[in-house]
Amino acid sequence: SYELRLFPCVPPASELIPPGACKTLNSAAIYANNEVDLAEVDIYGFDYDYTLALYSNALNTMIYNQARTFLIEHFKYPEEISKYEYVPNFAVRGLHYDIQKGLLMKIDAFHYIQRGTVSCSVNKIYFTMGFLSRTQGPRVKQFMDIFSIPEMTLLAVANDFFITNDIEYDPVHLFKDISEAIGMVHLKGFMYKWVMQDLGELIQRGEETDAVLHRLVSQGKKLFLITNSPFSFVDKGMTHMAGKKWRDFFDVVIVQADKPHFFTDCVKPFRRLDDNGDLRWEKIKSLDKGQIYKQGNLYDFLRLTGWRGSKVLYFGDHLYSDLADLMLRHGWRTAAIVPELEHETKVVSTNRYALSLTWLQALTGLLEQLQVHKDQESKQVFREWQQERDELRAMIKNLYNPQFGSIFRTGHNPTYFSRRLCRFSDIYMASLSCLLNYDLSYTFYPRRTPLQHEAPLWMDQLCTGCMKTPFLEEMSHIR
Ligand SMILES: [Mg+2]
C-alpha cells in the first residue's frame, strides 16, 4: 500500500537517538579520526589565535565594518555599500569562491557543488554545471580560516550590490580589492588593537585555557607555542588568560613564525627577541625556556628540541597552515580546534533533526524499492516521495544555516572541509577546554563507520556505558 506515512507512528525522538550516542553528541566531547593514546603524548604544542585564544563573534563584525570602510575610502567603491550591515550567520568556513564569477559555493568531498548553496542571484550557472572540475582550480579559492568569515560576507555583499543595481564590474578586481581590504585590517594592526583594548569581551574561555595549561604542566608534560602573531599581542592575551607568569608554562615560545612556511621551508633561522622586544643578532644554538624566538623553521626546531614523532600532539584551528604538513610529512599527532562544533552538535541533538533524518533515511529506502515498479500509479507516488525527500533535505540543511547548511556535510556526503579535517587531524574538538573532560591517559578510539558493502553489525555505542537496553541485558546474561 502506498498509504504508508511513517510520521504518525514513529516513536518520540528521544527514543530515536540511541542513549549511548546522545552522550557523544556533545560540544564538550573530543572526537577521533585516528586512535590516539594520550599516555603516549609527552609534548603538547599550540597555535595561538583561535586555539589558545578563542575570539567572540563580535570580532567578525568589527573586521567586516573596518574592511568595508577601507573598500569605500581607500578603494573608492560606491558609498551605498556602507548600508550593508554584517550578517552574522551568512557564511560558513570551508566554502569555495569562484573568483571570475563572484560566487561562493559549498563543495562536497567528491567536488560536487551542493544544490542551493551558491550565493547571489545567479544560482543557475551552477545548477546546470553542478561539478567543480580540476581545471577550475586556479580560479577558485577555498576559505579555511575562521578570520575569513567576514571576508566571504563582504564579497557576497559587494557582488550583490553591483548585480542588483545593474552596475558593470570586474569580479576579479573585486576579489583582489576585498582581500586587500581585509588584509589591511590585520596589517595596519586594527585587529590587534581591538583585542588588546577589550580582552575581557573578545577573548572567550580564557580561564579554561589557563586550566588546561596548568593541568598539562602539573602532570609533567612539555609545552610549546608556535604562532604567526607578534609577541606584544600574544603577551597581552596570554597575561589576560593565564596571568603574568604565563611564560612559565611553555618550554619554547615562537612568535611571527610565518606558518605554513615554518613547516615547509628550512631556510629562515630562529632569532631571539630580548626583553625590549628587539631582535638579537647571535646564532641560535638552543631553544631555551623563558626566551622568546621569532620566525625559524621546523627542521631547526626538531634538531634543537629532539621532539619528534607521535609523542608530540599539536593543536591548531587552521587545517592547512597548522596541521597538514605536520600530519603528512613530520609524523606529529594533530588536534583540530573546530569552534563550529558547538553549534553543530546542538543541532544534531535536537528532536527535530533526529525525526527528520530518520524519516529521510526511511524515505530514501522506500524510493530505492519503489523504483522497479513501472505502472503509472507507482511512478506518481515515486515523484511525490522524491519531492518530499528534496524538501526534507532542504529543511535539514536549514537547521544548521539557511544559506550553506552544515560545514561537515552536503546532503548525504561529507564536505570538502570534512574530508580535509579527517585527513589532517587525529582528533578534533570545539575548543581546547574539551581536554579538561579527559584523563591524560585516555585513549580516543574512532567510531567504526560501515563501508557501503558492510552491514552495520557492531553497536559501539554500547561501550559508552549509559545504555540499559534489552539487547544489553541479553548480552550481560550471555556473559
Ligand atoms: Mg589560529
Q: Can you give the CATH number for the domain in which 259 is found?
A: 3.40.50.1000
Return the pLDDT at 119: 53
Angstrom distances, CA of residue 449 to CA of 37, 111, 295? 20, 22, 41
Residues with CB under 5 A from ligand 1 (ion): 47, 49-50, 317
49 is in an annotated binding site: yes
Please check whether residues 124 and 190 belong to one and the same domain: yes
Domain hosting residue 108, numbered range: 58-196
Task: Please tell me the total number of residues recorded for the chain in this structure.
Answer: 479
C-alpha cell at 102: 563572484
Rounded to whole angstroms, the Cα distance separating 332 from 263 reads 12
Please indicate, yes or no, whether residues 322 and 213 belong to a single structural domain of this protein.
yes
**Over the stretch 124-169, which tens digit does the pLDDT of each residue have?**
333 333 444 444 445 889 999 888 999 999 999 999 999 999 999 9
Rounded to the nearest 10 degrees, the angle between the axes of helix 376-400 and helix 351-370 is 150
Residue 400 has pLDDT above 60, yes or no: yes
Contacts of 329 (CB under 8 A, 6+ apart): 263
Note the pLDDT of residue 464: 42
Spatial distance between the Cα atoms of 355 and 362, rounded to a whole number of angstroms: 11
Digit-coded pLDDT (tens) for 337-346: 999 999 999 9
Residue 171 vs residue 474, higher pLDDT: 171
Q: 239 CB contacts (<8 Å, ≥6 apart)?
A: 246
Q: Are 222 and 328 within one domain?
A: yes
CA of 147 to the centre of ligand 1 (A): 9
Q: Is 319 found in the same domain as 277?
A: yes
pLDDT confidence bin for 450, thresholds 50/70/90:
confident
- Distance between CA atoms of residues 141 and 240, nearest Å: 35
Is the model's pLDDT at 123 over the cut of 70? no
Tens of pLDDT, residue by residue over 172-211, are 999 999 999 999 999 999 999 999 999 999 999 999 999 9
Q: How far is the CA of 237 from the centre of ligand 1 (A)?
A: 14
What is the C-alpha separation between 144 and 148, in angstroms, rounded?
7
Provide the β-strand partners of residue 31: 428
User: What is the 402 CA–ligand 1 centroid distance (Å)?
Assistant: 27
Active site positions, annotated: 47, 49
Dist. CA 23 → ligand 1 center (Å):
29
**pLDDT number for residue 118:** 62
Instruction: Name the domain boundary from 170, 196, 222.
Output: 196
With cut-offs at 50, 70 and 90, classify the pLDDT of residue 14: very low
**Does residue 292 belong to any structural domain of this protein?**
yes
Looking at residue 110, what is its pLDDT?
81
Q: Mean pLDDT for the chain? A: 87
Q: What is the distance in A from the centroid of ligand 1 to the CA of 276?
A: 26
Residue 389, domain member (yes or no): no
Amino acid 266: pLDDT: 83
In a domain, 254, yes or no: yes
pLDDT band at 122 (very low <50, low <70, confident <90, very high): very low
Residues 163 and 234 in one domain: no
What pLDDT is attached to residue 12?
45
Mean pLDDT of 275-299: 93
10 versus 289: which is more confidently predicted? 289
**Which ranges of 166-278 does DSSP label H, i.e. alpha helix?**
171-187, 190-197, 199-202, 206-218, 231-242, 261-264
pLDDT digits (tens, 9 = 90+) for 15-37: 455 444 444 567 899 999 999 99
Write down the pLDDT at residue 473.
53
> In this model, does residue 170 exceed pLDDT 90?
yes
- Is residue 293 in some structural domain? yes
Closest to 404 measured CA to CA, from 136, 175, 115: 115
**Same structural domain, 277 and 188:** no
Q: Rounded to whole angstroms, how far apart are CA atoms 238 and 246? A: 6
- Of 314, 338, 362, the domain-final residue: 338
- Domain end (from 338, 372, 390): 338
Are residues 65 and 43 both part of a single domain?
no
pLDDT band for position 335 (cuts 50, 70, 90): very high
Distance (Å) from CA 86 to ligand 1 centroid: 22
Picking from 17, 21, 123, 107, the residue whose alpha carbon sits closest to that of residue 409 is 107
219 and 301 fall within a common domain: yes
Q: Write down the pLDDT at residue 131.
A: 45
Please indicate, yes or no, whether residues 240 and 330 belong to a single structural domain of this protein.
yes
In a domain, 267, yes or no: yes
Do 243 and 163 sit in the same domain of this protein? no
Structural domain contains residue 432: no
Q: How far is the CA of 232 from the centre of ligand 1 (A)?
A: 16
Q: Residue 454 — very low, low, confident or very high, per pLDDT cuts 50/70/90?
A: confident
* pLDDT greater than 80 at residue 463: no
Average pLDDT of 451-464?
A: 66
Q: How many domains does the chain have?
A: 2
Residue 351 lies in a domain: no
Shared domain check, 210 and 168: no
Q: How far is CA 379 from CA 166, 202, 361, 384, 390, in A?
A: 44, 57, 20, 9, 17
Confidence of residue 380 (pLDDT cuts 50, 70, 90): very high
Q: What pLDDT shows up at residue 459?
A: 56
Question: In this model, does residue 469 exceed pLDDT 50?
Answer: no
Q: Taking the chain, what is the end-to-end CA distance rounded to the nearest angstrom?
A: 43
The reported pLDDT for the residue numbered 24 is: 56
d(CA 111, CA 131): 6
Whether residue 188 sits in one domain with residue 145 = yes
Measured in Å, residue 316 CA sits from the centre of ligand 1 at: 6
358 pLDDT more than 70: yes
Asked whether 93 and 417 are in contact (CB, 8 A), the reply is yes
Partners of 410 in beta bridges? 413
What's residue 130's pLDDT?
A: 42
**Residue 5 reports pLDDT greater than 60:** no
Q: Is residue 154 in some structural domain?
A: yes
Q: Please choose, from the candidates 150, 36, 49, the residue with its C-alpha nearest in 3D space to the C-alpha of residue 92.
A: 150
Dihedral-angle region of residue 72 (phi above 0 means left; psi in -120 to 50 means alpha; beta otherwise): alpha
d(CA 20, CA 221): 32
Confidence of residue 458 (pLDDT cuts 50, 70, 90): low
Contact 143, 93 (CB under 8 A): yes
CA 192 to centroid of ligand 1, rounded, Å: 14
